[in-house]
Structure 1
Amino acid sequence: MNDNIIHKLVTLADSAKYDVSCSSSGVARNSKSGTIGSTSSWGICHTFTEDGRCVSLLKIMLTNYCMYDCAYCINRKSNDIKRAAFSVKELVELTLEFYKRNYIEGLFLSSGIIKNPDHTMEKMIRVIKDLRTVHSYNGYIHMKSIPGASRELVVQAGLYADRLSVNIEIPTEKNLKFLAPEKDHKSVFRPMKFIEQGVIEYKEEKNKSKFTPRFTPAGQSTQMIIGATNETDKDILQTSSLLYLQSSMKRVYYSGFIPVNAYDNRLPVLHQSPLVRENRLYQADWLMRFYQFSAEEIIDDNNPNLDLEVDPKLSWALRHPEIFPIDINKAEYRTILRVPGIGIKSAKIIINARRFGSLDMYQLKKIGVIMKRAQYFIICKDAINQTINEITPRKVREILLKKKKTKNPNQISLAFPL
C-alpha cells in the first residue's frame, strides 16, 4: 500500500467517525463458492471509538470534500482541514485487500457531497456495484444514501447494499435550516420513501419469482444529532416514532453533539458530548421497539425530557403508581413487560411457567427477574415486600438510586432498561 493511499485512508476514516448509523445486523447471506465474504450477523467486525461509539469497519468516506457548510459537521466546506478523495478503483481495492487480510468483515460507505447529490451517489454506487459484480464480494455493505438523490439512483443502490441510511441530523426542520441552510427535511424524507417503496415492491415481486434480486435486505437506518439544538426529548422521540411506522426503518441512532466547530456561534458551548442523554434516548427507543411503549407514554407535556438519573422504564413506573402492584401470576404479557426489572425473555418465561403453578419470589429470581427493582411493583405467591403504593414512588426512587450509587458511584449504566 503506497503512501498516498495511506494518507487518504487516515484522512477519510477520521472524517467518517462521527456517523454512528452503521449497524451491521439484520441480514444473513452465507458464503458461496466463488464469492468473497459472508454477512453472518456474528461475523461482522466492530470497534469502539474513544467517545463510546460502536462502529463497523471498514468505515470510510469516498471523499470529505463537500459543497455544503453545515455548522455541526467537521467536513463543512469552510473548515480548513485535510481533504482527500478516493477513486472508485482505489476504494474497491482497499476494501478487498482489508477483507482478505481479515482486517474487516464489512464496509460502511459515506461521502461528502460533491457537485450535486446525484453525482456523489453515482460514484458511491460504482464502488459497491464493482465489489458485487466484478469482484463477487458477498460481505456486508452499508451505504449512506445522499439527501436529494434521485429515485433511480436510490433504487440502484438498494440492489447492491445490504442497508441504506439517510441521516435526518437535526430533528426539526426549523433548526436544520438554521444550522444547515442548504438542507431541508424534504430532501431527507424523499430517499427514505424511495427505499420504503423499493422494499415493498421487492416483497411483492418475490412472491411471483424467487429470482427477484434482493433490495436492501437489512432495511434502512438514520441518525439524529442530540444537543446541537433546543429540541426536547419529546420532539426527538416523536420523530423516531413516526419513522418506525415505516416497515423498512430498522434503527434510529442518536449521536450526542460533539463541538467540532467551536468557533460557530450558532452552536451551544459544550465541554463534552451529552452521552448520558444519548444513552437515555437509546433506552427509550428500545422501549418503543421491543416493550410496546409509545412515545407519548414515555414522555409527555409535563415531562418533555427524559430523567437522567433513572432509566425511562423506571421513570414511567414511578409516574404511574396507580397501575402497580401487578399480580405476576395473573397479569397479561404486555403489563408484565412494564415492570422495572423484568425483560422480554423473563416475561415470556413467566407466561409459560405459571401454567404449571403459581410463581414465588425465589422462582422469579431464578427466571432472571431483577428482584431489587421488581419487588416494589409486583405481588406473587409469597410476596412480603412493601410495594410502591405503601412506601410512595419518591421513596422507591431514593432507595433504588442509593443502591445504584452504593454499587458503583462513578458508573453510568449503558444497559437497556429492564
Structure 2
Amino acid sequence: MSLERIKEKLEILADAAKYDVSCSSSGGNRKNKNGGLGDSHGMGICHTYTEDGRCVSLLKILLTNHCIYDCAYCVSRKTNDIKRAAFTVEEVVDLTMNFYRRNYIEGLFLSSGIFTDSDTTMERLVRVAKKLRNEHKFNGYIHLKSIPGASDEIMKEAGLYADRLSINIEIPTEKGLKLLAPDKSHSEMIKPMGFVKNELILYKEEKKIFRKVPKFAPAGQSTQMIVGATDETDLKIIKVADHFYQNFNLKRVYYSGYVPMLEDARLPSIHSQVPMLRENRLYQADWLMRFYGFKADEILEKENPFLDLEVDPKLAWALRNREQFPVNVNTATKQMLLRIPGIGGKSVNKILSARRFQKLNLDNLKKMGVALNRAKYFVEFDSHNIFTKYIDEQNFRKVILTGMKSKFQNPFSEQLSLF
C-alpha cells in the first residue's frame, strides 16, 4: 500500500481516537530483555500533554472507525457520514516500530470501532500486541481498549501482552446509556472488567507461590465516563467512580467532558460544550477519594449535587464543615491533616515526621511547601489560635477567593480589616 494511503489512514484514525482520554501509561513495569526495543519500567514512559491534559506521548489510534453500533455521542457511529478507514495488523505494528525508532512515541494506545462482532475485533487488537511482543521484542508500553462482550479467553490473552486494559463505561448510568446507545448495556461492559479484576488477583496469589509467573496487565485497568451528554449530577458521577474503585480495583477513572459534534435530539445543544473546569473538578474529587480518604457523600450532598466551580472540592468541603476547624497541626491525626485545604499528602508526611522533634509554626509549614494562602485559615498551633472561627461565612469565602496573603501576626487584626 502506498505511503500516501497509510498517511491518510493515520490522519483519520488518530483523529477518531482523540476523544478517548484514558491513555495514561502510569503503573507499567515491563523491563527491556533479550536485546529488545523499549522499556516501560518505572518512569521509562515519557508523557506529553495538551493544554487540556490529554496524553499525546503514545501512538494513539483506532484499528478502524467502522462500527456496527450507532451511539449518539460517538463520531464513529454507523449513521455518521464520515470517511472510514481500517488498518491491518501489520500496518499498526509497522507504524508503532517506525515511530518508536524515530523517538516520536514510547508506546501504543490501541482502540477500535466494533466491526463484525466483539470477539473478532478484540482478537485483532490482541494480534497487534502479540506480534509486537513476540516478533519485534517490543518492551514498551501497550494499552489495549477492551471490547464490550469479548470472551474471557481473548481477555486472558490480551492481559498477557498488554500493560494496561481498559473498557469505557461511556455513560455513567444504565438509563443514560440506553437513551444514547440502546444496543449497549453496562452488564456487557462490566463482565470483562470483572474478569480482569479476578485475573489480577490470581496473578498476585500465584506470584507468592511460584517464582516465575507470566505478567497479566501489570498496569491494571481503567475506565472512562462521558460527562454532560446526559443529565447525571456530579454526585452521581463520583459515586459511580467510587463503586468501580471499590469493586473492580481500577487504577483510574477518567472523565471526558462531552464535546458536541452531532445534531441529535437526545443530545445537548450543539453549542453547549461542557466547561473544562467541570471536568477538572471531577478529577480533583476523584483524587480526594483515592488518596485523601474522602467518600463521595462527603464531597457532595444531595442538596448540592454539583461541584463548586469557584473553589476546589477540598476547600468546598472545609467551608461547609467549619466546625471541624481550626486543626492543631501539632496534635491532629494524619486523616485530619489530609483534610486541611492547601496541605497535600507529601506535606502531611513531612509534618508528621517533623513534629516528633519540635513544635511547628506557620514558618515551618511554609518551608514544607504548604499553600499558606489557604491553609493558614484552617490551622492553629499550641501558642496561637487562628482567627477562622471569628469570621462570618460570607467574608471568609471572600478572603480566600481573593488570595489574601497578609502575614500572620495578631489573629484579630486581620479579622477586623474584613469589616
TM bucket, shorter chain = over 0.9
What is the Cα deviation at residue 397 of structure 1? Answer: 1.0
Aligned to 1:366: 367
Q: Name the CA distance, whole Å, in 2 between partners of 1:339 and 1:393.
A: 17
Aligned to 2:415: none
Q: Which amino acid aligns with 2:264?
A: D
What is the Cα deviation at residue 50 of structure 1? Answer: 6.4
The reply to whether residue 267 of structure 1 matches residue 272 of structure 2 is: no
Q: Contact (CA 8 Å) 2:378, 2:386: kept in 1 or not?
A: no
Aligned to 1:395: 395
Show the 5 A alignment for 1:247-266. Answer: 248-261=249-262, 263-266=263-266
Q: Which amino acid aligns with 1:282?
A: Y
Q: Name the CA distance, whole Å, in 2 between partners of 1:50 and 1:310.
A: 20
Query: Aligned to 2:278, what secondary structure does the other structure show?
Result: helix
Q: Which amino acid aligns with 2:200?
A: V
Q: Name the CA distance, whole Å, in 2 between partners of 1:49 and 1:371.
A: 29
Q: Contact (CA 8 Å) 2:193, 2:248: kept in 1 or not?
A: no
Q: Which amino acid aligns with 1:372?
A: N
Q: Name the CA distance, whole Å, in 1 between partners of 2:87 and 2:215.
A: 28
Query: Aligned to 1:23, what secondary structure does the other structure show?
Result: coil
Aligned to 1:311: 312
Show the 5 A alignment for 1:63-212. Answer: 63-212=64-213
Q: Name the CA distance, whole Å, in 1 between partners of 2:383 and 2:372.
A: 13
- Residue by residue over 1:374-411, the C-alpha shift from the partner in whole angstroms, topping out at 9 and shown as x without a partner, is 11111014536411x2102322211111229xxxxxxx
Q: Name the CA distance, whole Å, in 1 between partners of 2:324 and 2:48.
A: 42
Query: Aligned to 1:230, what secondary structure does the other structure show?
Result: coil
Show the 5 A alignment for 1:287-306. Answer: 287-306=288-307
Q: Name the CA distance, whole Å, in 2 between partners of 1:369 and 1:49.
A: 27
Q: Which runs of 5+ in 1 are unaligned?
A: 405-418
Number of aligned residues:
402
How big is the alpha-carbon RMSD for the aligned residues of Structure 1 and Structure 2?
Answer: 1.5
Q: Name the CA distance, whole Å, in 1 between partners of 2:213 and 2:364.
A: 50
The reply to whether residue 10 of structure 1 matches residue 22 of structure 2 is: no
Q: TM-score, normalised by structure 2?
A: 0.93
Aligned to 1:412: none
What is the Cα deviation at residue 52 of structure 1? Answer: 4.4
Q: Name the CA distance, whole Å, in 1 between partners of 2:222 and 2:93.
A: 24
Q: Name the CA distance, whole Å, in 2 between partners of 1:376 and 1:72.
A: 44
Pair 1:29–1:67, CA change in 2 (3 A): same
Q: Name the CA distance, whole Å, in 1 between partners of 2:302 and 2:12.
A: 44
Q: Contact (CA 8 Å) 1:45, 1:106: kept in 2 or not?
A: no
Q: Which runs of 5+ in 2 are unaligned?
A: 405-419
Q: Report percent identity of matched pairs.
A: 58
Q: TM-score, normalised by structure 1?
A: 0.93
Query: Aligned to 1:216, what secondary structure does the other structure show?
Result: coil
Q: Contact (CA 8 Å) 2:337, 2:343: kept in 1 or not?
A: yes
- Residue by residue over 1:137-161, the C-alpha shift from the partner in whole angstroms, topping out at 9 and shown as x without a partner, is 1110000000111111111100100
Q: Name the CA distance, whole Å, in 2 between partners of 1:230 and 1:308.
A: 17
Q: Name the CA distance, whole Å, in 2 between partners of 1:249 and 1:52.
A: 20
Q: Contact (CA 8 Å) 2:342, 2:370: kept in 1 or not?
A: yes
Q: Contact (CA 8 Å) 2:326, 2:386: kept in 1 or not?
A: no
What is the Cα deviation at residue 197 of structure 1? Answer: 0.8
Query: Aligned to 1:355, what secondary structure does the other structure show?
Result: coil
